[in-house]
Amino acid sequence: MKYLVVLCDGMADYPIEKLNGGTPMSVAKKPRMDLLAADSLVGTVSNVPDGMVPESDTANMAVMSFDPKIYSKGRSPLEAVSMGIKMNEDETAYRCNVVTLSEEDCPYDERTMIDHSADEITTEEADELIKAIQAKFGDENKTFYTGCSYRHCLIWKGTPYKYNFNRPHDILGQKITKYVPLGVEGKPFYEMMKASYDVLENHPVNVSRRARGLKPANSIWLWSPGKKPMLPNFEEKWGVKGAVVCAVDLIKGIGLCAGMKAYDVEGATGNINTNYKGKADTAVRAFKEGNDFVYIHIEAPDECGHRGELENKIRSIELIDEKILTPVHDWLKDCGDDYKILVLPDHPTPLCLRTHSIDPVPFMLYSSREKRRGVECFSEESAKGADLYIEHGYNLLNHMIEKD
């Protein structure tokens, strides 16, 4: 038996007036997804436990069958694992976004959060900026590491762990005054973020970006602290060998912590312009190399939701269907083994909010062995009507993986 998970990050949404009450999922042309949904087990699942922040680390950890309330220690440590960083017990990892703040003549904390991703800056450009930040602020206790696009990491020895930072994608279009780190514990983070503006504002990378009509990455934003992570071994838990295929360090980190193989895909960006074909080809390769369970993560719908891009969010779902689900399903049909396919988002990223919500998400589970009475169009509304609700996302794989 082979198992494929296609995780469409942030794909779920709320009804949109411009779509006559539809959603990107319901209007997207996704013939393969809908074809499979007609014969699938369909329902909704809550991947984010009550009281927890609806972040991708929490939700994807749940989909991979690990209870976030037990195992979640923040997203940054998982990203650090993916980067090959070996953390010590006295160290804390922080996500370090390079963001775009407004550039009017005013104090730092009166600026507005324009873009949490600095126009989805390239990794190559961001690397130069992170090196400048490391040169300015790095020391024997603080080290900055380059990640993917706008997503980077700070490892800091002996800092407060439980400080409640604000997420930059939650405050788009707002002045940062009340969202910057405050108080005695927040002061060292605030001072570094404030000083980073002077380091980055006129950096050659940003001078070039402005000249090309792109937003500058003119500040760092620190958030999501966490300690060294540990997860149960996926193969020992389920009796199947697993792999993850993704662009972002977070998902690779979850996979690596669970003893799964993490595949890199050349040209995978974490946005709508990612290498869809490369992800599909890599998933097939992962199966051919002996993995029974392959988890493909696609970030594009989530990024489109954060950016408020309706057409792009619809298009990202269509591209997932056409360039990932269809070719991998075609290969599975011809591989000679029985197979199951699970398709779902981790959490909604509603366009009206431009950030994550905690609502349950739709899922569809197709089995080559057993046809079910599914739905004609896989969407939030049709999944709600299926009357199957899984309260805890970490139980979802119980419906998929057949244990000996």
264 and 362 in a single domain? The answer is: yes
Cβ atoms 180, 186 nearer than 8 A: yes
Tell me the mean pLDDT in the region 59-66: 97
CA distances from 378 to 63, 297, 298 (A): 19, 18, 18
| Nearest in space to 14 (alpha carbons), one of 320, 272, 361 | 361
Q: What's the whole-number average pLDDT of the chain? A: 95
Q: Look at residues 50, 45, 62, 63 and name the one whose alpha carbon lies nearest to residue 386.
A: 45
For 208-214, the CB contacts below 8 A with 24+ separation are: 209/118, 209/119, 209/121, 209/125, 214/119, 214/121
pLDDT of residue 159: 79
pLDDT of residue 403 exceeding 80, the answer is no
The pTM (predicted TM-score) of the whole model is 0.83
pLDDT given at position 162: 67
Residue 72 structure tokens:
């979640």
- Helix, strand, or coil (residue 165): coil
Contacts of 378 (CB under 8 A, 6+ apart): 25, 30, 33, 34, 37, 40, 42, 343, 362, 364
In this structure, of 315-319, 341-345, 371-375, the range with the lowest mean pLDDT score is 371-375
Domain containing residue 377: CATH number? 3.40.720.10
Please give the structure tokens belonging to residue 365.
């589970």
Burial of 207 (0-12, 13-18, 19+ CB in 10 A): exposed
Q: Which of 178, 210, 226 is the last residue of a domain?
A: 226
Among 226, 258, 293, the domain boundary falls at 226
Confidence at residue 158, expressed as pLDDT on a 0 to 100 scale: 87
* Residue 191 and residue 132 share a domain: yes
Instruction: Let me know whether 31 and 104 are in one domain.
Output: no
pLDDT over threshold 90, residue 303: yes
Q: Which of 265-269, 329-333, 340-344 has the lowest mean pLDDT?
A: 265-269
In a domain, 80, yes or no: no
| Residue that wins the pLDDT comparison between 27 and 74 | 27
The C-alpha angle with vertex 146 and arms to 229 and 215, in degrees rounded to 5, equals 125
Judge if 294 and 355 occupy the same domain: yes
- Res 229: pLDDT: 82
Domain boundaries, position 178: 91-226
DSSP 107-122: -GGG-BEEETTTTT--
One domain for residues 177 and 288: no
**Model confidence band, residue 73 (pLDDT cutoffs 50, 70, 90):** confident
- Residue 18 inside a domain? The answer is yes
Q: Check whether residue 212 and residue 262 sit in a common domain.
A: no
User: Does residue 7 carry a pLDDT above 90?
Assistant: yes
Q: pLDDT band for position 164 (50/70/90)?
A: confident
The tens digit of pLDDT for each residue in 121-150 reads 999 999 999 999 999 999 999 999 999 999
270 & 373 share domain:
yes
- Please indicate, yes or no, whether residues 338 and 241 belong to a single structural domain of this protein: yes
Q: What is the pLDDT of residues 207-250, one digit of tens each?
A: 999 999 999 999 999 998 988 888 999 999 999 999 999 998 89
**For a pLDDT cut of 70, what percent of the chain falls above it?**
99
What's the pLDDT band for 404 if we cut at 50, 70, 90? low
| Calculated CA dihedral for residues 71, 75, 81, 84, nearest 10 degrees | -170
CA dist 160 and 91 (Å) reads: 10
- Bridge-based pairing state of the strands 91-101 and 361-367: unpaired
- Domain boundary among the residues 178, 201, 226 is at 226
Distance CA 196, CA 97 (A): 12
Per residue in 189-218, pLDDT (tens digit) is 999 999 999 999 999 999 999 999 999 999
- In this predicted structure, what is the pLDDT of residue 230? 85
Report the run of H or E that residue 76 belongs to, with start and end: helix 75-82
> What is the residue type of 212?
R
Cβ neighbours, 10 Å, residue 381: 15
